[in-house]
Structure 1
Amino acid sequence: MTIGTPVSTPFTAASTALEVVAGIDLTGRRAVVTGGGSGIGVETARALAAAGAEVTLAVRQPEQGARAAADITGTTGSDRVTVAPLDLADPASIAAFVATWDGPLHLLLNNAGIMASPEMRTPQGWEMQFATNHLGHFALATGLRPALAAAQGARVVSVSSAAHLRSPVVFEDIHFQRRDYEPWAAYGQSKTANVLFAVAASRRWADDGILVNALHPGGIRTNLQRYVTEEELTRLRAQSGPAAPAWKTPEQGAATSVLVATSPLLDGVGGRYFEDCQQAGPNQPGTRTGVAGYALDPEAAERLWRVSEQTLAD
């Protein structure tokens, strides 16, 4: 496994999305932010709008999206923030979103997700975290590939998590049909899939000028943790001991996404994993930082791509 020449930036874990995008002009650029109605999604969208981008909030709850859009317009003055319905667990909803998109797409931020949920399945029988966090975004990105190619230099941002360190993609039983369901293992697997998508897409779409990278936003208290109790969060942080990172604000949590989407420091860079506004190094045993080797494995990335295509085609 090679990570390539590491990318370093002047930003840190404490940087905010607005600080990262300061001085960058996104006028004329079009962006889609999934899950843009709350949490780090709305702060990601706010920073892009503030820099002049036309932003579409792709959300499961349009009413929430409308409130977020109004808030973004109020704080940035941008009147180019729109809302579109998107349910990542529903292939028909994804197909409808893709069908209604017209023209080039410069920035696709695959931000939405669910975390450590009870066992749930889609009507197709897919495990819900994998279906939402990976398969839905895979279908969306591949469906929008012509629009991304038309942008001539598009970037795709795959929001992963340090939780990818909890599990590789278990190809023998992705959907927990034979093994006992465990919420964090399912979440970790889906987050590894987010990194593997970036690895494969960067290679497959290089001729289209599309760059795809993955990232860990940091620990942020948002609606993402709606299935996780306070006791569980306390226990998990205790496991990290003194090395447990401080909670980030949503504005700080959105910074690495915005960096990956917009920074000229990442021109020509694809298939990598970032955290705290820097390219991450390899994970060291006993730590919860860095990127697992299995998440950057090009063979696993290609296998996941084929499995994802077949799953969605069935």
Structure 2
Amino acid sequence: MRITTPFTRESTAADIVAGVDLSGRRAIVTGGASGIGVETARALARAGAEVTLAVRNTEAGHRTAADLSATTGNEAIDVRHLELADRDSVAKFASDWQGPLHILVNNAGVMAEPLTRTREGWEHQFATNHLGHFGLAVGLHDALERAGDARVVSVSSSAHLRSGVVFDDIHFERREYEPWSAYGQSKTANVLFAVEATRRWAADGITVNALMPGGIRTALQRHHEGNAEFEAVAKDFAWKTPEQGAATSVLLAASPLLTGVSGRYFEDCDEAAPNVPPARDGVAAHALDPAAAALLWEVSLELLAR
């Protein structure tokens, strides 16, 4: 049965946590110093959670932490360095974590950037958006299990409709690089992670869901600002505010309405219906394919082990 909630695309993160008490719960938000990450962290802090901002730029992280404390009255805001495209940074972050972890919001990302490779030769969007978050979640598995009822939130995008994971050339070593296809592949991987993690981790008390936050004007679009084609589309797009864009993430992270729900893809605070082309909403069948999800898990483990 498809899950729906009383919330809508106009709902804000603050609406989601109204009356929710997260006291005693610990949360990590990657990319928590910009865009919807800030508002996701703010809502969790407002509900009483101890929030860690996992960020590349710790100076910006500390400025954000001060703002969050000032606006929520919650002083339990921590800042830790994390570079998702650097597996050593990911491993260190996970190994340094002490105690249980109740909420992990895999929010950070890059979008449709020019071709960039990591030192391993991995395509940077796949490395950042999927492999970094995959390695982080796997590295924090024991902490999540220790919590007893942990939630992992995987921020995907409707761009997953553009491409499944192309397993025979994930890193564009033979095919021509196309920024949006690479982004779409990485966003499909975010959903497939939720599918396979649900199968593997359900018995550990860990639920994992993915979501499309909606279109929000943030630094995520920095590679396309001023591009005539992008701006023509953007002019008529139904943009959300960052507070609205964070709502579905916070719903999956904190709402009692989602207790026990796992392995699904949400948009506008409801579980998405199947995509029917040429519509640009809903969830593609390739993103929920259990065989692809299982294969991606094994491929990801192999890549990170090299």
> Which residue in 1 is equivalent to 2:248?
256
> Which residue in 1 is equivalent to 2:190?
194
Q: Is 1:206 aligned with 2:198?
A: no
> Which residue in 1 is equivalent to 2:101?
105
Listed as ranges, the gaps of 5+ residues in structure 1 are 239-243
- Equivalent residues in 2 for 1:218-237, closer than 5 Å: 218-230=214-226, 231-237=228-234
> Which residue in 2 is equivalent to 1:298?
290
Shift of 1:234: 2.6
Q: Is 1:157 aligned with 2:149?
A: no
Counterpart-to-counterpart distance in 2, 1:166 and 1:229: 21
Shift of 1:267: 1.2
| Amino-acid identity (%) | 67
Counterpart-to-counterpart distance in 1, 2:84 and 2:232: 30
> Which residue in 2 is equivalent to 1:67?
63
Q: Is 1:77 aligned with 2:73?
A: yes
Query: What TM-score, normalized to structure 1?
Result: 0.96
Q: What secondary structure is seen at the aligned counterpart in 2 of 1:282?
A: coil
Q: What secondary structure is seen at the aligned counterpart in 1 of 2:105?
A: strand
Given that residues 7 and 265 in structure 1 are in contact (C-alpha distance below 8 angstroms), is that contact kept between their aligned partners in structure 2? no
Instruction: Encode CA deviations 1:65-90: one digit per residue, 9 max, x unaligned.
Output: 00110010110010000100000000
Shift of 1:245: 4.8
Shift of 1:236: 4.1
Instruction: Encode CA deviations 1:91-146: one digit per residue, 9 max, x unaligned.
Output: 11111111110000000000000000000000000000000000000000000000
2:8 to 6, 12, 15: 12
Counterpart-to-counterpart distance in 1, 2:233 and 2:119: 32
Q: Is 1:145 aligned with 2:141?
A: yes
Change (3 A) 1:284 1:248: same
Q: What secondary structure is seen at the aligned counterpart in 2 of 1:124?
A: coil
Counterpart-to-counterpart distance in 2, 1:136 and 1:215: 18
Counterpart-to-counterpart distance in 2, 1:24 and 1:202: 24
Counterpart-to-counterpart distance in 2, 1:167 and 1:26: 37
2:263 to 253, 268, 271: 271
Counterpart-to-counterpart distance in 1, 2:23 and 2:251: 17
Counterpart-to-counterpart distance in 1, 2:230 and 2:83: 27
Q: What secondary structure is seen at the aligned counterpart in 1 of 2:153?
A: strand
Listed as ranges, the gaps of 5+ residues in structure 2 are none
Q: Is 1:51 aligned with 2:47?
A: yes
Given that residues 202 and 210 in structure 1 are in contact (C-alpha distance below 8 angstroms), is that contact kept between their aligned partners in structure 2? yes
> Which residue in 2 is equivalent to 1:37?
33
Amino acid at match of 1:234: E
Amino acid at match of 2:269: C
Q: What secondary structure is seen at the aligned counterpart in 1 of 2:41?
A: helix
Amino acid at match of 2:267: E
CA RMSD of aligned residues (A): 1.0
Shift of 1:148: 0.2
Q: What secondary structure is seen at the aligned counterpart in 2 of 1:268?
A: coil
Counterpart-to-counterpart distance in 1, 2:254 and 2:229: 35
Q: What secondary structure is seen at the aligned counterpart in 2 of 1:205?
A: helix
Q: Is 1:179 aligned with 2:175?
A: yes
Query: What TM-score, normalized to structure 2?
Result: 0.98
Q: What secondary structure is seen at the aligned counterpart in 1 of 2:263?
A: coil
Counterpart-to-counterpart distance in 1, 2:12 and 2:234: 23
Counterpart-to-counterpart distance in 1, 2:147 and 2:109: 26
Count of matched residue pairs: 305
Q: What secondary structure is seen at the aligned counterpart in 2 of 1:311?
A: helix
Amino acid at match of 2:302: Q
Shift of 1:262: 1.0
Amino acid at match of 2:239: W
Q: What secondary structure is seen at the aligned counterpart in 2 of 1:134?
A: helix
Q: What secondary structure is seen at the aligned counterpart in 1 of 2:277?
A: coil
